């Protein structure tokens, strides 16, 4: 969480930093700050709240060619102006922004900084005070920075200004993402290329434990021993329009609407010249040589994993277990002899998933990451990567990444099964095409979902999602969408499980959103709906064409029954979106959350 930026060049840096931070707000948005440096020294502006709040306090007439900035998701200390970054050393010589968590900050404070009255409650402040302390003891800034980094345990992406060295931004990284962007007569630093796409698309990736001396016409990467490392830049394949809302009121709505296009892009990306679905042979061998697949993920990606299990077991006939990343480390199951680990992660940065990846890599197991972000940590650190091709997903609530994850997992299962000679009666390319068309129909029915949200959810305190089989997993995703953006307490349940406890929660008018897209359980889920209606519930039934019954609230277009999650989720995304709007919630930036969860 948290996003950092830096700029050094000939232009005024303020606006570049603020614009960059706006693009990084998805990483955290409880407070923000910038520090700019010119011949008069360093000036810090920081504020609780959003970048817009910060913008309003930045003084227009301060001109500076160098600066750093930060948008925060609080881990240590409440969101406040004092805890906002940048933090300054007591002498004001050093100013620093940090993304990550310093696990041993308390110990370092007691050992080195007993005489320093810290201003904030953050783990970050000790970094800048330590650098200052070591500089006062006679070390150069580079030496003091290196010595401090050597003491830190945890994760960091850091940008540091030294008032006595105005030509440089000192940068370092360990476990938190960080890039250096290259320009003509300027260079930049950013947690994500998106932030600085406004000025450059040329980036150099940084590896853990590297230190970078960034000057306006030179970038020097060093390892912890001070040895220089050379690395070629890459071109960020991002279009500036991908990261703009355009005419949409919210990124979430734009991203929901992009799902048909993304599904078609995925089909193309995984087709060979003769139109056959194809995946790197090494990946298919790793899948087919494994005796059990362990899918590890969090949140929406975990829900995609639950559906992915069905695809892989049915099409490739390999047993699959799906695990919540944050639980896996403490609760490691007995592993099979030849496991393959699949990490599903939109961002490719989720710390909980990464912790498992690091562990299982140490144990010598093969790993595959399914991610939307090429070059992300989980992608770099796994043996293999499959990309989602969904384009940047900026709204905190994941939508197009979920359906992209499902499409890619279906293709993986299909290609793995086909390479073992398994046959089935449908053509996945054709069926995914039908899915994309169905998605379009649903995206064009927004008014109906707005009405459903208004009549079922505008005043309720809670809501339940029920389904059986694959519909149950989609219900889990629907309930996560609703709770995270509308703050309605929403839960997903297996239809048959209600009578074992949950049905006690049903009161007069409780909204129940039931999914009925599976022929084999259509009658049973209808039975469950009757049970809750008999106890006063207000049912919203979303069924599929061919399985519809009188009184259904919405009927989605027919697609192959294994692929229904790719389209049945769209009504749930749109219902959550409109429920949040009706309740005046901040759809794209819900409270307490951040898009990229880089703390465990």
Short-list 275, 262, 543, 571, CA closest to 428: 275
- The least CB distance from residue 293 to ligand M6R, in Å, is 18
Restricting to residues 47-76, name those near ligand M6R by CB under 6 A.
none
Note whether 169 binds ligand M6R by CB under 6 A: no
Burial degree of 509 (CB within 10 A; 0-12, 13-18, 19+) = exposed
Please say which residue, 165 or 301, places its beta carbon nearer to ligand M6R. Answer: 301
Restricting to residues 417-456, name those near ligand M6R by CB under 6 A.
none
35 and 86 Cβ atoms separated by less than 8 Å: yes
For 170, the 3-state DSSP assignment is: strand
Member of 128, 159, 253, 298 binding ligand M6R (CB under 6 A): 298
- Is 400 designated active site? no
Q: Which helix (H) or strand (E) holds 328?
A: helix 325-328
- The least CB distance from residue 223 to ligand M6R, in Å, is 29
Strands of the sheet containing 66-72, edge to edge, are: 41-48, 31-38, 66-72, 3-8, 187-190, 179-182, 202-205, 234-235
Pairwise CA distance, residues 400 & 405, whole Å: 8
Please say which residue, 51 or 597, places its beta carbon nearer to ligand M6R. Answer: 597
- The least CB distance from residue 19 to ligand M6R, in Å, is 24
Please say which residue, 301 or 510, places its beta carbon nearer to ligand M6R. Answer: 301
Please say which residue, 27 or 46, places its beta carbon nearer to ligand M6R. Answer: 27
Strands of the sheet containing 156-162, edge to edge, are: 87-88, 94-99, 156-162, 165-174, 210-215, 218-222, 228-229
Please say which residue, 212 or 295, places its beta carbon nearer to ligand M6R. Answer: 295
Please say which residue, 476 or 506, places its beta carbon nearer to ligand M6R. Answer: 476
Note whether 368 binds ligand M6R by CB under 6 A: no
- Determine the residue with CB nearest ligand M6R: 299
**CB under 6 A: which stretch of 93-101, 143-151, 211-219, 297-305 binds ligand M6R?**
297-305
Member of 31, 71, 301, 486 binding ligand M6R (CB under 6 A): 301
For 515, the 3-state DSSP assignment is: strand
Restricting to residues 478-517, name those near ligand M6R by CB under 6 A.
480, 484
Note whether 347 binds ligand M6R by CB under 6 A: yes
- The least CB distance from residue 237 to ligand M6R, in Å, is 19
Kindly provide the b/e burial profile for residues 76-101, where b requires at least 16 CB atoms within 10 angstroms of the residue's own CB: ebebbbebbbbbbbbeebbbbbbbbb
Restricting to residues 382-411, name those near ligand M6R by CB under 6 A.
396-398
Member of 350, 369, 543, 573 binding ligand M6R (CB under 6 A): 350
Which residues touch 117 (CB under 8 Å, ≥6 apart)? none
- The backbone torsions φ and ψ at residue 462, rounded to the nearest 5 degrees and listed phi first, read -145, 170
- The least CB distance from residue 164 to ligand M6R, in Å, is 40
- The least CB distance from residue 399 to ligand M6R, in Å, is 8
Q: What is the 3-state secondary structure (H, E, C) of 399-466?
A: CHHHHHHHHHHHHHHHHHHHHCCCCCCCCHHHHHHHHHHHHHHHHCCHHHHHHHHHHHHCCCCEEEEE
448 and 473 Cβ atoms separated by less than 8 Å: no
Note whether 299 binds ligand M6R by CB under 6 A: yes
- Is 595 designated active site? yes
Q: Which of 2, 443, 540, 585 is catalytic?
A: 2
Member of 284, 316, 597, 598 binding ligand M6R (CB under 6 A): 597
- The least CB distance from residue 397 to ligand M6R, in Å, is 4
Please say which residue, 26 or 94, places its beta carbon nearer to ligand M6R. Answer: 26
- What is each CA distance from 289 to 152, 251, 263, 341, in whole angstroms? 40, 41, 28, 12
Please say which residue, 34 or 298, places its beta carbon nearer to ligand M6R. Answer: 298
Q: Which of 14, 23, 46, 595 is catalytic?
A: 595
384 and 280 Cβ atoms separated by less than 8 Å: yes
- The least CB distance from residue 271 to ligand M6R, in Å, is 25
- Which tokens belong to 500? 């074992």
* In the block, residue with structure tokens 């990467």: 221
**CB under 6 A: which stretch of 33-41, 228-236, 298-306, 437-445 binds ligand M6R?**
298-306
Q: How many residues bind ligand M6R (CB under 6 A)?
A: 15
**CB under 6 A: which stretch of 53-61, 125-133, 345-353, 419-427 binds ligand M6R?**
345-353
Please say which residue, 255 or 440, places its beta carbon nearer to ligand M6R. Answer: 255
Member of 300, 479, 510, 522 binding ligand M6R (CB under 6 A): 300
Note whether 585 binds ligand M6R by CB under 6 A: no
What does DSSP assign to residue 396? S
285 and 423 Cβ atoms separated by less than 8 Å: no
Pairwise CA distance, residues 68 & 160, whole Å: 8
Member of 31, 148, 176, 346 binding ligand M6R (CB under 6 A): 346
**CB under 6 A: which stretch of 228-236, 295-303, 406-414, 421-429 binds ligand M6R?**
295-303
Q: Which helix (H) or strand (E) holds 179?
A: strand 179-182
Please say which residue, 94 or 577, places its beta carbon nearer to ligand M6R. Answer: 577
Member of 122, 124, 345, 518 binding ligand M6R (CB under 6 A): 345
Please say which residue, 329 or 557, places its beta carbon nearer to ligand M6R. Answer: 329
212 and 172 Cβ atoms separated by less than 8 Å: yes
What does DSSP assign to residue 332? P
Burial degree of 147 (CB within 10 A; 0-12, 13-18, 19+) = middle
- Which tokens belong to 210? 């590297």
Active site residues: 2, 595
Q: List residues binding ligand M6R (CB under 6 A).
A: 298-301, 345-347, 350, 353, 396-398, 480, 484, 597
């Amino acid at each position: 969480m948290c996003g950092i930026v830096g700029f050094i060049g000939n232009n005024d840096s303020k606006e570049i930093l603020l614009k960059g931070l706006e693009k990084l707000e998805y990483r955290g948005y409880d407070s923000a700050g910038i520090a700019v440096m010119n011949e008069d020294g360093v000036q810090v502006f920081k504020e609780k709240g959003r970048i817009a709040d910060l913008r309003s306090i930045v003084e227009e007439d301060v001109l500076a060619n160098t600066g750093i900035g930060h948008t925060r998701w609080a881990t240590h200390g409440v969101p406040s102006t004092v805890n906002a970054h940048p933090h300054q050393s007591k002498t004001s010589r050093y100013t620093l922004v940090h993304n990550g968590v310093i696990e041993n900050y308390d110990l370092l404070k007691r050992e080195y900084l007993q005489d320093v009255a810290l201003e904030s409650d953050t783990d970050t402040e000790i970094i800048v005070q330590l650098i200052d302390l070591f500089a006062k003891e006679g070390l150069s800034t580079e030496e003091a920075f290196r010595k401090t980094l050597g003491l830190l345990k945890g994760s960091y992406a850091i940008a540091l200004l030294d008032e006595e060295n105005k030509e440089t931004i000192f940068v370092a990284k360990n476990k938190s993402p960080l890039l250096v962007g290259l320009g003509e007569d300027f260079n930049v630093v950013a947690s994500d290329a998106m932030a600085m796409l406004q000025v450059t698309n040329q980036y150099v990736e940084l590896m853990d434990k590297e230190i970078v001396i960034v000057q306006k016409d030179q970038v020097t990467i060093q390892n912890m021993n001070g040895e220089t490392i050379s690395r070629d830049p890459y071109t960020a394949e991002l279009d500036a329009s991908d990261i703009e809302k355009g005419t949409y009121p919210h990124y979430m709505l734009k991203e929901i609407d992009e799902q048909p296009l993304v599904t078609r892009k995925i089909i193309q990306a995984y087709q060979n010249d003769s139109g056959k679905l194809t995946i790197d042979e090494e990946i298919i061998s790793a899948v087919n040589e494994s005796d059990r697949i362990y899918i590890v993920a969090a949140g929406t990606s975990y829900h995609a994993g639950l559906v992915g299990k069905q695809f892989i077991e049915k099409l490739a006939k390999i047993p699959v277990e799906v695990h919540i990343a944050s639980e896996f480390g403490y609760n490691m199951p007995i592993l099979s002899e030849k496991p393959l680990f699949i990490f599903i992660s939109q961002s490719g940065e989720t710390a909980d998933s990464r912790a498992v990846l690091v562990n299982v890599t140490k144990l010598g197991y093969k790993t595959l990451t399914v991610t939307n972000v090429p070059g992300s940590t989980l992608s770099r650190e796994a043996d293999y990567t499959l990309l989602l091709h969904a384009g940047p997903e900026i709204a905190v609530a994941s939508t197009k990444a979920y359906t992209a994850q499902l499409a890619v997992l279906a293709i993986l299962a299909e290609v793995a099964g086909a390479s073992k000679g398994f046959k089935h009666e449908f053509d996945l390319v054709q069926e995914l095409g039908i899915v994309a068309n169905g998605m379009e129909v649903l995206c064009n029915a927004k008014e109906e979902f707005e009405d459903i949200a208004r009549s079922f959810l505008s005043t309720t305190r809670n809501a339940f999602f029920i389904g059986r089989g694959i519909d149950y997993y989609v219900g889990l995703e629907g309930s996560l969408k609703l709770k995270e953006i509308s703050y309605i307490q929403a839960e997903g349940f297996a239809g048959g499980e209600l009578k074992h406890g949950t049905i006690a929660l049903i009161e007069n008018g409780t909204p129940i959103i039931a999914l009925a897209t599976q022929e084999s359980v259509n009658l049973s889920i209808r039975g469950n709906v009757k049970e809750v209606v008999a106890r006063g519930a207000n049912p919203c039934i979303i069924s599929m064409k061919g399985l519809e019954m009188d009184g259904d609230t919405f009927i989605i277009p027919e697609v192959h029954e294994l692929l229904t999650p790719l389209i049945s989720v769209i009504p749930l995304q749109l219902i959550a979106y409109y429920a949040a709007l009706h309740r005046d919630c901040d759809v794209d930036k819900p409270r307490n959350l951040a898009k990229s969860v880089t703390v465990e």
